Amino acid sequence: MLEEHQRKLGQLHETLNDVAQRFDSLGPGIEERVESPEYLALVRQAFRTWDHAETDEKRRYVGNLLANAAGTKLASDDVVRLFIAWLDQYHEAHFMVIRQIYQHPGISRYDIWDQIHGEFPREDSAEADLYRMLIRDLNIGGVIRQSRATNAAGQFLRRKAVRRPGGAPTTMESAFEDTKPFELTELGKQFVHYTMNEVVGRIGSSTDRESPG
């Protein structure tokens, strides 16, 4: 127990050092931001999530978020608090799905699974049930959605109903369905920018308004 506590303290020290070094590269204006009550409140929430994290990967995401929240204005502090809650709520398996959709916009559930695991299980297996749950969690949470066409005003267009000859299908839709493309929501893209990208723009720079790339 003591060894585990010492290991976490060492990791915390490394995370703080990394964040501090990245602060040094952000230029004028950073001190006012990192000493503000709003930012310090984010730090307290973030390190509660860091302390609960069971993997180094999630702790790295917390460090990325703190550095990016100091150096960019892509999202408001209210949205950053939501991102911290997502880090606390979601499992590494969720993050694997997010990364695949970010790297391959329009990817299907079939291809997401194929990229991560390769071999496909039975539809009635625990693995397929878990995969359905991951997609459902991220969809309901507002991180991902099925790709949709929009008009010039950004409004989503209704899909036309597709009538299939031969009556209704006799089986449920596969967990590994291969025709419906998925994408990150705009909120999901900001989440990736803050947690999974290492590059941090300067405060007030044009990069603060760019999509993660």
Residue 151 lies in a domain: no
Residue 34 lies in a domain: yes
Among 206, 207, 211, 210, residue whose Cα is nearest residue 188: 211
Residue 96 lies in a domain: no
Residue 73 lies in a domain: yes
Mean per-residue pLDDT over the chain, rounded:
82
Q: What is the pLDDT of residues 110-162, one digit of tens each?
A: 999 999 999 999 999 999 999 999 999 999 999 999 998 878 877 877 777 66
Residue 132 lies in a domain: no
Residue 41 lies in a domain: yes
Residue 55 lies in a domain: yes
Q: What is the CA radius of gyration of the chain?
A: 20
Q: Which domain holds residue 22?
A: 2-89
Terminal alpha carbon distance of the chain: 41
Q: Helix 109-116 to helix 92-103 angle, to the nearest 10 degrees? A: 110
Among 90, 120, 126, residue whose Cα is nearest residue 108: 120
Quick one: what percent of the chain has pLDDT higher than 90? 51
Question: Based on the number of CB atoms within 10 Å of its own CB, is 11 exposed (0-12), middle (13-18) or buried (19 or more)?
Answer: middle
pLDDT band at 6 (very low <50, low <70, confident <90, very high): low
Give the total number of structural domains in the chain: 1
Residue 137 lies in a domain: no
Q: What is the pTM of this model?
A: 0.79
